[in-house]
Amino acid sequence: MLEDALATLLRTRVPLTVAGRTDAGVHATGQVAHADLPAGLDRAWTVRRLARLLPVDVRVRAVRAVPAEFDARFAALSRHYRYRISTAPHGAEPLRARDTVAWPHPLDLDAVTSASAPLLGEHDFAAFCRPREGATTVRELQRLSWRADAELVVVDVSADAFCHSMVRSLVGALLDVGRGRRAVQWPATLLERARRAGEVTVAPARGLTLVGVDYPPDETLAERARTTRGLRVTASAEAPSGRSSGR
């Protein structure tokens, strides 16, 4: 979609690299992407033109020049996701129904908070990931917190990176704890699995939003990208050159 808009704007195809791919139905308010654009392109004009070319539910908020070493995917330090759950008897508020899941069951916040704690740190999250050939499932989970504001429960999840369906699987497993279907210790025992656990419920996509991506200082971008590539991709991956980024 954004690649098509850029192609219309620049009259040539421009490959786009994003910080993180999201499952169908998942939202993003903090996505970052990079592309190699003409050096003299007016950034404010580009944002305005893209606003006219893109559908109303896709916006580019800013365009800026970045060092040639910047890589939206491999230079990232952390990704931050938020999952929204309504425990109200009437379900999600109509104006937030697209990004909030209605939960018609009990939800014990003390239980899900206790079950979340052992999952923090670096582990093999294979039990919570849909397998992809050649991809590692080792991740550093940096945050997994639950908070309630009246009848809205918000889950904040951060990691150095996520594998396919990892966030939704973590939330789904913990929701089973919160409704009393699973013991508090159960999610942590899944870390011993070497492959996906079929009994883990994947939470609905619409409740999940990518809200932010963190990057290191410019002078360490290249080092970070090299380190991440060495850990997570095959040796045949090619490093991109100079670029611009958009949010």
- 3-class SS at 2? helix
Q: Is 36 a catalytic residue?
A: no
AA letter at 185: Q
Say how far apart CA 106 and CA 28 lie, in whole Å.
28
- Tokens (6 digits) for 51: 């606003």
Say how far apart CA 157 and CA 143 lie, in whole Å.
5
Say how far apart CA 224 and CA 97 lie, in whole Å.
38
Count of residues making up the chain? 247
Nearest to 117 by CA among 155, 96, 97, 143: 143
Give me the catalytic one of 4, 23, 42, 218.
Answer: 23
Q: What is the DSSP string of 159-173?
A: ES---TTHHHHHHHH
CA angle 17, 35, 215 (to 5 degrees): 65
Q: What is the DSSP string of 27-79?
A: EESS--EEE---TT--HHHHHHHHHHHS-TT-----EEEE-TT--TTTT-SEE
Residues annotated as part of the active site: 23
